[in-house]
Structure formats: C-alpha cells, structure tokens
Chain A
Amino acid sequence: MAATAPVSPVADAQVAPPARGRPANPWRRAWQQFRRSRLGYWSLIVFVVLFVLSLGAEVLSNDRPLVVHYNGQTYFPLLKTYPETVFGGDFETETDYLDPYIRHQFSMDGNWAIYPPNPYGSQTINYFASEPNPSAPGRENLLGTDDRGRDLLAQLIYGFRISILFALALTTVGVLLGIVTGAIQGFFGGKTDLAFQRFIEVWSAMPELYLLIIFSAILSPSLGLLLALLSLFGWMGLSDYVRAEFLRNRKLDYVKSARAMGVPNRQIIWRHILPNSMVPVVTFLPFRMSGAILALTSLDFLGLGVPPGTPSLGELLSQGKNNVDAWWISLSTFGVLVLTLLLLTFMGDALRDALDPRRVDP
C-alpha cells in the first residue's frame, strides 16, 4: 500500500451491518414481509379462526344438547348415547332431543338443558318443521333446510370442515410426492431425469375423470379412495417446479463447495438444495389448497365424490341446482365456497410477494 491512509488488511471498506438483535432467518423475513400485506395477513387470520371453529363443529351445531340436568342428575349427551326412557320417554331407542316432548321434559322444574347454538347436526332431519322441505330461512333453521329437511347451516359447517381437511391431506401428500420426485429428477439429472420426465408425460395423459368414474363404480366410494386417486395425479405440477429449482441450484458454487468438502449426497439434498428450492412449494400451497377444495366439490357435484350421508359442499350445490326456487341453498353454499377460495387466494398472493426474490427489502 502506498503512502495513503492505511487500509486495515482485515476490515473491508464496507460498513459492518447494524447489529440489531438476532439476525433474521430468511423464512422469518418472508413472514415479516407477509405480515406487511394486510389483505393476506387478515385472510390468514380469518381462515385459521374459521378452520378452528369448524374443528369444534360438534359444539356449535349438533342435535344433542351439550349438558342436560334431569331429575337431579347430569347427563352429557354429546359424549354418550342415552335411550329415551332415561328422560321419561317410551322407547328404548336413542333420544331425539328435538322432539317437543323431550324438550318439554327438560323445561320442567329443576331440569335444564344447554343446546348448541345451532341445534342440528349435519344429517339431522327436522321432522317438526313448520314449512314443507326445503324450508326457507327462519327462526327454526337460520339458513333454511335442504330438500330432505336437513339444516343448511349445519351442513355448511360440516361440509367446510371436510373440504378443508381433505384439501390439507391432499396438499400434504401431493407436496411430499412432488418434492421427492422433483428432487430425484433435478439432483441426479441426466438419464434419471429423462426417464422420469417421459413417465410424467405418459402418466399425465391418463384420463383422470374416467379413472375416478371407473373406480367409484368398482369400489365403494370413500374419502380415502378419493384421496388416493387424486394424489396419484396431483404431484406432477409441483414436481416440475422442484425439479427446475434443483437443476438450477445443483450447479451453483455452494453445492460444488459442499461436494468438494465431501458432504454426502443426501445431506447436500437435505441441507443445501432443499431449503433453497422451497420457494415455489410454499408459494403454491394456498393455491393447491383451493384447487383441492374445488376438485372435491366438483366431484361431489357430479356424484362421484364422498359417500352419501357425508356433508359436502358439492352435494349442496347440486341440490341448489335441482331446487332453483330454494335460493338459500345455492346462495349460501356459493357464499361459503367463494369466501374460502378468496381467503386462500389472498393468502397465496401475499405469500408469493413475500417470497419474491426480486423484491427489495426496505
């Protein structure tokens, strides 16, 4: 160095970054970025609240009372089945708590019963409705009943829960399969990649809907079967994205450095490439969820979905189609679907922005 201001051989000319608490992990920064998007953040909160509420659907909407105090004793019909004789009825069968007689018994001296806010289960038929089925919204059924006399609000709550749970399961399976297959193709590349890609091309050409029709004709329809069939085809889109990320990342110098260090392949995949390939996976999560909900709903609508007797939004939609004059069926189901899909889309948009690498952090 010449006769200039001496430069310390150690410290670079740049200023040390400000030391403020623990440095942020890239995922944490993405989360902070996500929170900054109001719409996405509130969508997440509303969605989580709705989902948690629907998990406790039995307490919110059920045809059994939560607690009954009858003749000095306390009963929990929600947890246990009591024959009608217990409450002064005539039959040995399970109590119908909506029966005006039973209700009368509970209102006698010293007796009381706490019913859920919506005193109908998803399959409860209101035999005591004051109107023919489907009955319009009113004091008895807040959102009316369907054409079999079942309470619509109850069906929506349970249908929402099943849709979300199904979508979560389908997304989880699809994401895991997609990551594993994408990682294998992208990391090993070459012939493995070539063979796998051709397989995907053949596999994606299979007519999914016909397979579903055929299988639902052979086997008895169930949620598990549906999950398996949809999972068989649901992983391919994501697998392509993960493959592309792996192909890009494995060429980068940090992977070469790890190989030069002697890091075994599975650790390179797990610790180096995978965390850097997760952006498309995470970004697509909400969109995959909404896709899964739509898939279940449309299959139910066609009658290829869940077995009869399962609350389902798709089945409600098809009822709405069959009873056009009962506007409350189609309208409320439509409302629930639109709300769910909108929330997921808003979350997805916010997530995509939060993980956008081109975005500059302020």
Chain B
Amino acid sequence: MRCATRWTRGGWIHERRRTLQEQAVTAPLLEVERLQVTLSGQAIIRDISFAVAAGEKVALVGESGSGKTVTALSLLRLFHGAQVQGHAWFGEGAERRDLLALGERQLRAVRGDEIALIFQEPMTALNPLMPVGAQIAEVLQLKRAATRKAAAEGAVELLARTGLDRPAARAAVYPHQLSGGQRQRAMIAMALACNPKLLLADEPTTALDASLRMQILDLLQRLQQETGMAILMITHDLNLVRRFADRVAVMQKGRLVEQGAVEGIFASPRDPYTQRLLASKPRRRLDDAAAASGPPVLQVQRLQAAYPAALPGLAGWFRKGRFVALRDASLAVQPGRTLGVIGESGSGKSTLAQAVLALLPSRQVSGDIRVAGREWQFRSRVDRPLRRRIQVVFQDPFSSLSPRQTVGDIVGEGLKIHFPELSAQQREQRVINGLADVGLTGQQFAHLLARYPHEFSGGQRQRIALARALVVNPEVLVLDEPTSALDVTIQQQILALLQRLQQEHGLSYLLITHDVEVVWAMAHDVIVLKDGDIVESGSATAVLHHPRHAYTRTLLDAAGADF
C-alpha cells in the first residue's frame, strides 16, 4: 500500500479532509484491546487496553522496565521473539483493521506509511554512512515512488519543515556532523515523510539537553497541529507529559494502572503508584545555615583544562589543535555544604569533576586545585593520601562497578589501600557497616559481600558505588550526575540518602548535574557553567530565584519547575 497522500512536484496534497465534527464521531484511530506480550514464558505486558483518537496526543508514562516501549513496539510487531495477544484496531472507517492479525507484508505497508516511529537516540537510528538528506529521500523513493530528483527536493522541504536552518546544506551532511537536537529533527523529518496518521515517539527528548528538549517538544506540537496526526509519546518525564499531552496512561510492571485526561490525573491521581510517581519530586531539605566554618575543603582557582583536538584539513596532519573545555574556573566547597554545578552537555562540567579528582593528565590542566589545603602533585604515590579525602560517584551505575568483582571486593578495595593496617575481619566489618550505612544489609540480601553487581538494580548499584566512596571516610564527595540514570522514585530515594549522609558525616558535596530540580533539592551554593565558562554563581536561593544571566533563565524555563 502506498501513502495515503500523494506526492507531487509542487508539494503536499493532503487528502485527509476531515472536519473536527467528523473526528468527534468516528471511532478512535488506534484502539488497543487486552494486549498481552509474553517473552519466553513470562508475561511482560498484561492485559492493556487504551485508545488514541485521531489528532490526539497521548502519553504513555512509566519507569524503566514498566513495559512502555514494549507496548509501542509490539503494536508494530517490532519486538522480536515475543508472543503478542489481543487486538490493536487501527485506521478509520473501512480501513480499520487489527494490526496484530495482519500479515508481515501488510504490516510493512503500515509501518512508516501510517504509523511512524522516532527513537530516543537518533545517532543509532540514523545510518552513519549516509547523508541525512539521502536517507529521507530514500524513504520518499521507496514509499512514495518519487523520482530521484523529486525525492531529494522533498527531503530538503521536510528538513525545512522541522525548523532546521539551512536545510539544503544540512541534507548533504552525515549524521555525526549534526548536533543531538538537529539529528532528532532529521529523524522527525524522516518520520513525517509519509505523512503518518500516528507518530510513535519513544522518549524523543530524553537524550537531549533541557533547552533543546523544549524546542523539540514545541516542534512536535506544531507539526501535530499542521498535519493533524496523532502522537503516542512514550516517556518517563512527568514535566513533559504535563506540557505536551492531552491524555496520559500510567504503566507499572507491565500493567496499565491509570489513564485519563492529563489535568485530571495530575490534579487527583487515584492509583497509589501514580500518586507516588507524581510525588517523586526532589525536595529541598537543607540546613541553609550549615555553618561554613573553617577553610574550604576543596578550592579551585583559575582552573583551565584543554584537550588536544584534531585540526580540520591539511593542518591536522602536522599539528594538533587544542580544545579548551574549561576556562578560568574558580570555586570553593565549604565544609558540610553542597556546591551544585549546573550545565548542559559540552559545558565542561564532567571535565571539572575529573580535574578536581586529578584524573586528567597534568599537561591538560593548569591552575590551582587544593583538597583540604593540599595541592595535587600528579605523582600517584605522593597523591595517594590525598585521594582518600576526595571521592567520587559516577552517573552510570552499570559501568561504575566492575562486573567481575564481588561487592565485598569493590567496597573493600579502598580500605586495602588507605588502611592497610586493618585485619581482614576489621576490614570486612567496615565494609558491612559501610553498606548498611547506604541501606544495604545482609538481611535483605543473603551473601551480600559475595554477590556480583549484575544481581542488583540501578539504584542499588548506585548505593554500592556510594558505599565504596564513603568507606574510606572522605571529606569531599564529587557527585557526577549521581541520579540521572535512575528512575524518578529511585532518584528521590538516593537524594534523600545523600542528604542524610551529609548531615550525619558532615560531608561536603560537589554536585554536578544538568537537572535544575536536583540542584535545588541538594545545593547550598550554585555555579552555572556554559561552554567552559562560569556564567553565574552564588547561593542556591539567589541564583535559582533571581537568575541574572540569560542562560540561567533559559535553563530554569526549560526545566519548567517551580521552586
């Protein structure tokens, strides 16, 4: 089957002449009835029913593992190796048919033509070896039998519709030459190629920075109004749902726990899980007066970090360029307080974390970094005592624990190095205490110390990483996006744990994040990083309530949060 609209040299002819009145009368565009997905004997989706009307924006919300992506993919039978039961009625009038009963050939005609997909990570969804325009043109040629030339022109036109500047030039470049936001626009352009009736958007903005997130969302909003297509958005982000969707369906562990109009659900959630999800907002529980007594535990002055980078063209053959990731940064972390560093990707915030931990080679850093008054020497033996005082927790709980070490080894390693005088029993006792401190006990998990990281969930792994850092009694803890890989409810638990540990142990945190809400919940003081420069700094209340720099205001707007 070809696309429902015809492609001509002149542009689009929309054959869909539906009035609003008609819309209201007709049955929903997509009606999912008792969907059940079984994977190797285990039901991962149980008995789900929902509907999407033509031109409606519906959000499917849930945490990771709730089955929201599986639901969307199994509608188009793109989830391989699973048994799908139930019905998914799709289409209008006479075209209405059960997607789950269609043959593979018929289904292929539906995919792309009537239902289009966009994914979270456009870099992996686009072919890296093909110019963006050619990929879109290919769809037009394949699905609409456009001529080569018309297809190429159509691709440029589609890119222009997604708000990409200089679309003709962009069409000729490869995906890696585009930024994340531009790639996502190209993906959307490709999805629009056939003027679909339904767009399945699987976490379309999750990989993007907050300010871009809003732009993409606005774009989808605008395109939806222009074309009248329906959008089924899969997301974990409640702010996004509130801004974007007409109706929302909440999923938990393969079940649909609640659905309804967005205002209704947000105003008065009935299901306890929805209530918990909505309540999972980081909360500021800080002792603002936490006295800044004594000298700063971490002091950075005029820090500059630069990487060697390839020069374009012939020059790159003979010498290397320099990419300055961080310029003239000065900051201080007071004892018992938290300094929040906000910045988007590429702002140099992770470089800052690595620099204060002396993980960058000394030739790449200049400036003065002092931990508890002592400067890094960049000699492993000399620096070792200093390393005990400053520890780190990274973002990704899956790569931050060695998969082939036991929990006992992971947490105990620091003790072996910094407290070699401990006996094996004393060390084990400290490891057990450290794990109990972050909420992991032997009662919960038999053989806790002998377990391997893969047996734990993301939040539990993050607790293990925290225990590893805390077991050597550091004074400063660098938290590099400690919660961004976690689900909202877990995120809140980890933040609460961090707050408790700070109060109990008098720890100082250098909290690096892109999430304004997390900073608000955790930080006493804030600095804002943009492209390697500190553009604003001050107390959290001052910066977040009365932002002076335009960039800070954009960030706060994008987060859509009210403090």
Contacts and interface: CB of A to CB of B under 8 A. Distances in A.
Contacts of B493: 7, 9-10, 12
Given A4-B276, A11-B439, A257 B392 contact: yes
A276 B453 CA distance: 13
Given A2-B279, A10-B439, A261 B391 contact: yes
Contacts of A265: 380
B455 A253 contact: no
B444 interface: yes
Nearest to A259: B359
Interface string B293-318: 00000000000000000000000000
Given A9-B497, A253-B396, A259-B359, A17 B456 contact: yes
B521 to A, nearest CB: 13
Interface stretch (B202-210, B410-418, B527-535): B410-418
A19 B447 contact: yes
A362 B41 CA distance: 10
A204 B445 CA distance: 52
B473 interface: no
Looking at chain A's contact residues, the main secondary structure is: loop
Interface string A256-276: 111111111100000110011
Contacts of B489: 7, 13
B394 interface: yes
B44 to A, nearest CB: 13
B304 to A, nearest CB: 21
A7 B405 CA distance: 30
Interface in B369-418: 380, 383-384, 387-388, 390-392, 394-396, 399-406, 413-414, 417-418
A220 interface: no
Q: How large is the interface on B (under 10, 10 to 19, 20 to 34, 35 or more residues)?
A: 35 or more
Interface string A142-183: 000000000000000000000000000000000000000000
A276 B402 CA distance: 8
A9 B459 CA distance: 12
Nearest to A275: B404
B399 A260 contact: no
B387 A261 contact: yes
Contact of B275 (A4, A9, A26, A271): A4
Contact of B401 (A9, A10, A254, A362): A254
A25 interface: yes
Contacts of A19: 445-447
B450 A23 contact: yes
A4 B279 contact: yes
B417 A261 contact: yes
Interface in A117-153: none
B479 interface: no
A253 B394 contact: yes
A16 interface: yes
Nearest to A256: B359
B484 interface: no
B384 A272 contact: no
A261 B450 contact: no
Contacts of A17: 445, 455-456
B490 interface: yes
Given A5-B272, A19-B447, A264 B405 contact: no
A17 B457 CA distance: 9
Contacts of A23: 447, 450-452, 455
B402 A254 contact: yes
A58 to B, nearest CB: 42
A217 interface: no
Q: How large is the interface on A (under 10, 10 to 19, 20 to 34, 35 or more residues)?
A: 35 or more
Nearest to B441: A10
Interface in B307-349: none
B366 interface: no
A14 B472 CA distance: 28
A133 to B, nearest CB: 57
A252 interface: yes
A1 interface: yes
Interface in B178-221: none
A148 B455 CA distance: 63
Given A253-B399, A260-B359, A276-B402, A12 B460 contact: yes
Contacts of B472: 261
Of B40, B417, B465, most A-chain CB atoms within 10 Å: B417
A275 B409 CA distance: 13
A362 B81 CA distance: 14
B279 A262 contact: no
A22 interface: yes
B500 interface: yes
B365 interface: no
Given A13-B490, A260-B357, A261-B391, A22 B439 contact: no
Interface string A20-37: 001111110000000000
Contacts of B401: 254
B388 A262 contact: yes
Contacts of A252: 399-400
B468 interface: yes
A260 B457 CA distance: 24
A261 B414 contact: yes
B400 A257 contact: yes
Nearest to B463: A12
Nearest to B439: A10
Contacts of A262: 380, 383-384, 387-388, 414, 417-418
18 contacts: A4-B275, A5-B272, A9-B439, A13-B490, A23-B451, A26-B454, A252-B399, A252-B400, A256-B392, A257-B392, A257-B465, A260-B357, A261-B414, A262-B414, A262-B418, A264-B380, A272-B402, A275-B404
Given A4-B279, A254-B401, 9 more contacts: A2-B275, A2-B278, A4-B276, A11-B439, A19-B445, A26-B452, A271-B413, A276-B403, A362-B40
Interface of B: 40, 63, 272, 275-276, 278-279, 283, 354, 357, 359, 380, 383-384, 387-388, 390-392, 394-396, 399-406, 413-414, 417-418, 439, 444-447, 450-452, 454-457, 459-460, 463, 465, 468-469, 472, 487, 489-490, 492-493, 496-497, 500
Give the top 7 A-B pairs by smallest Cβ distance, nearest first: A19-B446, A10-B439, A262-B387, A2-B279, A253-B400, A14-B457, A12-B459
